[in-house]
Amino acid sequence: MEIWTDKDQIPISVKPLDMLKDFSKYRAQSIKQHADAVHLFSNVTFHYSRSSAAYFGGMCSVSRGVGVNENGNTWTMASSLSQSLAQNLGIQVQHPRKFSKCSISDYKEFLLKGGGSCLYNRPTKQLFESTECGNGYIEVGEECDCGDKAFYPRGYSCRYAVNDCDITETCSGDSGQVTFPLSSPVLTPYAEAGGGEKFCYEKLNTEGTEKGNCGKDGEKWLQCSKHDVFCGFLLCSNIGRNPRIGMMKGDVTPTSFNHQGRLVDCRWTQPPHHTCQCTETTGGHVLLDDETDLGYVEDGTPCGPSMMCLDHKCLPIQSLNMSACPSGPNGQVCNNEATCTCDPTWAGTDCSMPDPPKEPAPTEDEGPKGPSATNLIIGSIAGAILVAAIVLGGTGWGFK
């Protein structure tokens, strides 16, 4: 949490869209802590139909994962923040007080398009002061969130694949931990955006300029050999100007060529302050907070039959000492760790070792499950006080 005590860091306005634009710049330039989204509460009443404004689908983006909200009572602030966070998650607000089936559909579509890539990691900071069994979080001193005091059986799907590049993860049966999400190296582009034409890669990536290259050596762009053009700079079609994750350094610029009697449109990211006369410039890429450049084809991407990209080179898979996963019921697909994801009853890097599930050891009944008696009593007292407050407030009674 950041509290502005000395002065406002941006102009505070009754026009939320103007303030959203200013806060977006402040968040990108001045807030260096990692956050999936950052929201501002201000003590003004907006001249707007809603009490909040946020970038639609901006979650995980440094510049667009932001929102501005009116300050008020607890209920108003909670409602305002929920709606603006929903907008960041690509959810159209259908009802001011509840989520609809359309809201759930919007959220699923947002995840399937890769918009929630930052949401799958566990928070590194402790969220609660004290530990509590059954609150949904694995806290200090807990091996699992004890709940019913039992692990899910081995093979239980604890996280389903969200797209064709993902792999459904299953529980081990003897641990409450889930490994970092695995992925399949078989990449399938989404319909909304796609790769540029083959000619674009062959034309631009062999030039070794900011428009197309195979990386940099110091300040010099490296040319791709014709064999490696599909492992260099990404050239896309049908794309927007705002990346779902990271920050665009530059702009998306179309470059057209006359090829075999037709006009071919090749899109690349133009560096800031670029002009036609500029011959040497840098930037023009989508960067993460740690300066990782997303403008290049990822290692592991197929670049031909039995070929894959590695360090901007298109190499035979056989040269990487990676064996194919076995076909049949015991083996499934090769993951990004170069091991096979096995059926729950098989194990080993090649899924060749039978590993039937073992019967869990019986455990002693340690008492009733669910909320403790203390929590029930506290909840009952709090509920009674709340009802009394509503009745007194509604009838106008009070005490001196």
pLDDT at 364 over 70: no
Higher pLDDT, 69 or 113: 69
Number of domains in the chain: 3
The residue ranking higher by pLDDT, 241 or 34, is 34
Burial annotation 127-152 (CB, 10 A radius, 16+ → b, else e)? eeeeeeeeeeebeeeeeebbeeeebe
Clarify whether residues 313 and 235 are in a common domain.
yes
Report the percentage of the chain scoring pLDDT > 90.
15
In three-state secondary structure terms, 209 is strand
What pLDDT band is residue 38 in, cutting at 50, 70 and 90? Answer: very high
pLDDT for 271 beyond 70: no
Could you tell me if 87 and 175 lie in one domain? no
Among residues 119, 137, 164, the one where a domain terminates is 119
246 and 291 both lie in a single domain:
yes
Q: What is the pLDDT of residue 354?
A: 82
- Position 214 scores a pLDDT of 94
Would you call 101 exposed, middle or buried from its count of C-beta atoms within 10 A (0-12, 13-18, 19+)? exposed
Are 161 and 208 part of one and the same domain? no
For residues 330 and 343, the answer to whether their CB atoms sit within 8 Å is yes
Q: Which amino acid is at 19?
A: M
312 in the same domain as 207? yes
Q: What is the DSSP letter of 181?
A: P
Q: Is residue 69 part of a domain?
A: yes
Within a domain: residue 280?
yes
Answer yes or no: do 257 and 297 share one domain: yes
C-alpha distance from residue 301 to each of 182, 297, 393 (Å): 15, 7, 64
Residue 169 lies in a domain: yes
Lowest mean pLDDT among 95-109, 284-298, 311-325: 284-298
Are 267 and 156 members of one domain?
no
User: Hey, what's the torsion of the CAs at 225, 227, 232, 237, to 10 degrees?
Assistant: 120
Look up the CATH number of the domain holding residue 42. 3.40.390.10
240 and 279 share one domain: yes
Q: Does residue 331 lie in a domain region?
A: no
**Does 255 share its domain with 155?**
no
d(CA 196, CA 54): 32
Do 100 and 199 fall within a single domain? no
Average pLDDT over residues 340-361: 73
Domain assignment present for residue 389? The answer is no
CA angle 334, 340, 346 (to 5 degrees): 150
211 lies in some domain: yes
Instruction: Assess whether 200 and 307 both reside in one domain.
Output: yes
Give pLDDT, residue 161: 73
Better-predicted residue by pLDDT, 333 or 99: 99
- Tell whether 386 is covered by a domain: no
Res. 102: pLDDT tops 80: yes
* pLDDT tens figures, 196-241: 578 888 888 999 988 889 998 988 999 999 999 999 998 776 556 6
Tell me the residue range of the domain where 58 lies: 16-119
- Predicted confidence at residue 300, as pLDDT, reads 82
Task: Let me know whether 209 and 279 are in one domain.
Answer: yes
Give yes or no for a contact between 213 and 224, defined as CB atoms under 8 angstroms apart.
yes
Comparison of pLDDT for 281 and 244, the residue scoring more: 244
Task: Assess whether pLDDT exceeds 50 at residue 190.
Answer: no
Residue 395 in any domain: the answer is: no
